[in-house]
Structure 1
Amino acid sequence: MTLVMENVSKVYSDGPKEFKALDDVSLELQKGEFVAIIGPSGSGKSTMLSIAGALLSPTSGTVFLDGENTAHLSKRKITEKRLEKIGFVFQAANLIPYLKVRDQLRVINVIAKNKANSKGRELLEHFGLTHRTNNYPNELSGGERQRVAIARALINDPKIILADEPTASLDSQRGREVVELLADEIKSRGKSGLMVTHDERVLDLCDRVVTIRDGRLEE
């Protein structure tokens, strides 16, 4: 298992008031499995994804990333694990506006102290972006920006891909193309994928669909 969440809860406090965003959630991701999380706004989808990616700590419960309990890791180790093991794809591409396409991927290599640039070239070619390497984000279409974001998420060959509403800013055709790219990468390379989405048009591309309501999972 690349990702295991066991009896995870997340409680937010505002003075005497408490709000339980996640309530005893358990989930396991297999290699090569692409899972979608659906549910109404405010149901806990983004909180669950953030905890899965070690961006948030659970109030209770346990999260294992690639076999390691995140509660036993220092902040530095958790940061390293996110860089090495997890690729994030967000609702907005979140590209750095003053960097050309090729440099969007290089900056991750620099942060990770990874000197291999050939992977970046391979990914841009794989996603049909070779002709865009010298373009800035504002010169790309929405679909191209998301493809760059996916390539950037994959630059360090992560074992887990976490996607938060990756089709939200795209039309139906471009949105499906983006999720097809994610699904192909996950299945062909034996990664694990977890995607939060409201887009029911792409659910057929997933192996499993999990519904969350009021912080609890319904499979």
Structure 2
Amino acid sequence: MNIILFIHAIFLVVSGKADQCVPRSYDQDSVICVCNATYCDLIEPTTVDQLTGNVVRHYISTIEGRRLEPATLQFSTETLYIANATYFQVNKNVTYQQILGFGGAMTDSASINIDSLSEETQNRLLSAYFSPEGITYSFVRVPMGGSDFSTHYYAYDDVVNDSTLEHFNLTEEDYLFKIPSIKRAQSLSNVQLKLFTTAWSAPDWMKNIQVDGMSSLKQEYYQLWADYYVK
């Protein structure tokens, strides 16, 4: 029987430095971090050469208001045997899924609220998400048309029975809000942002809409709906 040794006794080596959260309470269980034209909380970037040997960096956020406070830890070489325990052996040379990146959604509500800020505050906010000094998001999900984060319902072709999608078009929400915010985010990033999209709903005229609010795509529009995505 193979016995796997647990490496234990993690201890603190050095605390990291970060621009701390400026908390504001709205009488909820936790607080929000204030970001304005002069200040946003940011984390200190971690480089590969800082994580040599048995060193690991971890970040702490709490309901009380701590936000991504970094600390550098180190595993000791002391071993620990536990009777009747289940042991796991991790082979770092055997890999499966690849993490392509992390990100968030650029919805109508997000981009409209971003646009309502001053230019400097927009830069600080988007930097916190997309820049190397922030959390370096590399993926952006963009709703195709309106969603539950829009001010009103709309699709990219609301002309009934438009079988050729002649009237397919983007809207002012795209041109005035989402696209400018995405371009600004890209300008602040040091990586090429990857965008992916999906529709919240097909145009009403493509659906069977029931009295109870449930709906499904009409079978005769399956191909047109695929063409809608491609377009």
Range class of TM-score, shorter chain? under 0.3
Given the two structures, how large is their TM-score scaled by the length of structure 2?
0.23
Q: Which has more helix, going by share of residues?
A: 1
Which structure has the greater CA radius of gyration?
2
Where relative contact order (Cα < 8 A, 6+ residues apart) is larger, the structure is 1
TM (norm. structure 1) is 0.24
* Bigger share in strand: 1
